[in-house]
């Protein structure tokens, strides 16, 4: 499958989430883009009516590209807990409520796991999923999906990262995402495999659209 190359220039990060914007900016930094966020441009947040990460990522990127006339990169991501049937999944942000209270959201996850009797490591499997969607003003779409598996831990550990990071310990590591620096969480370079879901999606995007 051939991909369209994205030339350096102005690029919209179609998000109002400061944590996501920071991480995407960090990943884009080596590639020479003039990055602005949807919030910087006062673009409204579209209603996320999709039923998959792919649909919601495309929806956000397409809305930003149409409103700005610029290539737009959106991320839709979430925390999926196996014992909860994949919840909170695409509703991860909604579990935090209008005040974006992720401490409450993490407690909700733990309470539901306790209700299920999920106490052993094999019963507390979880994953982070991220889908990046890049849309050009002419409507061309590219999408990339990254996932990372691990264990849901309690109590929360670490104050780095954002969202559900403090209760997710990726396989093969002794610390949660909340205890890792951005560099450690991304775990990505042009030669090494990425660690986080967002960095894994970004690595595929970079290889297909930035370096190709």
User: Which residue in 34, 40, 42, 76 is the catalytic one?
Assistant: 76
Digit-coded pLDDT (tens) for 184-195: 998 866 667 899
Cα–Cα distance for residue pair 72/187, rounded to 1 Å:
24
Helix axes 197-205 and 18-28, enclosed angle (nearest 10): 40
> What's this model's pTM, rounded to 2 decimal places?
0.93
Three-state DSSP at 134 gives strand
76 is catalytic: yes
2 falls in which pLDDT band (50, 70, 90)?
confident
Digit-coded pLDDT (tens) for 87-139: 999 999 999 999 999 999 999 999 999 999 999 999 999 999 999 999 999 99
Digit-coded pLDDT (tens) for 16-73: 888 888 888 988 989 999 999 999 999 998 989 999 999 999 999 999 999 999 999 9
Q: What local confidence, expressed as pLDDT, does residue 1 receive?
A: 64
Digit-coded pLDDT (tens) for 153-196: 999 999 998 999 999 999 999 999 999 998 899 886 666 789 99
Sheet holding 34-37, edge to edge: 34-37, 10-13, 72-81, 125-135, 141-152, 168-170
Helices assigned H by DSSP within 4-84: 18-28, 53-68
Q: Which domains does the chain have, with CATH numbers?
A: 10-210 (3.90.950.10)
Q: Looking at the DSSP assignment, which residues form a beta bridge with residue 129? A: 78, 147
Average of per-residue pLDDT across 62-86: 97
């Amino acid at each position: 499958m051939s991909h369209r190359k994205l030339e350096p220039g102005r690029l919209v990060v179609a998000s109002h989430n400061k944590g996501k914007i920071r991480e995407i900016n960090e990943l884009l930094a080596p590639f020479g883009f003039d990055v602005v966020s949807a919030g910087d441009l006062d673009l409204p947040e579209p209603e996320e009516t999709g039923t998959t990460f792919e649909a919601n990522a495309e929806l956000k990127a397409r809305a930003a590209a149409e409103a700005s006339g610029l290539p737009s990169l959106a991320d839709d991501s979430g925390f999926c807990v196996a014992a909860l049937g994949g919840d909170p999944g695409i509703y991860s942000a909604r579990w935090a409520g209008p005040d974006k209270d992720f401490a409450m959201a993490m407690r909700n996850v733990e309470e539901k796991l306790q209700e299920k009797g999920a106490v052993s490591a094999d019963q507390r499997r979880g994953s982070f999923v991220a889908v990046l969607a890049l849309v050009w003003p002419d409507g061309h779409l590219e999408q990339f999906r990254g996932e990372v598996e691990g264990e849901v831990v309690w109590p929360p550990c670490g104050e780095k990262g954002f969202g559900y990071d403090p209760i997710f310990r990726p396989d093969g590591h002794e610390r949660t995402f909340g205890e890792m620096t951005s560099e450690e969480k991304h775990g990505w370079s042009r030669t090494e495999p990425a660690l986080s879901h967002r960095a894994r999606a970004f690595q595929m995007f970079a290889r297909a659209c930035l370096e190709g």
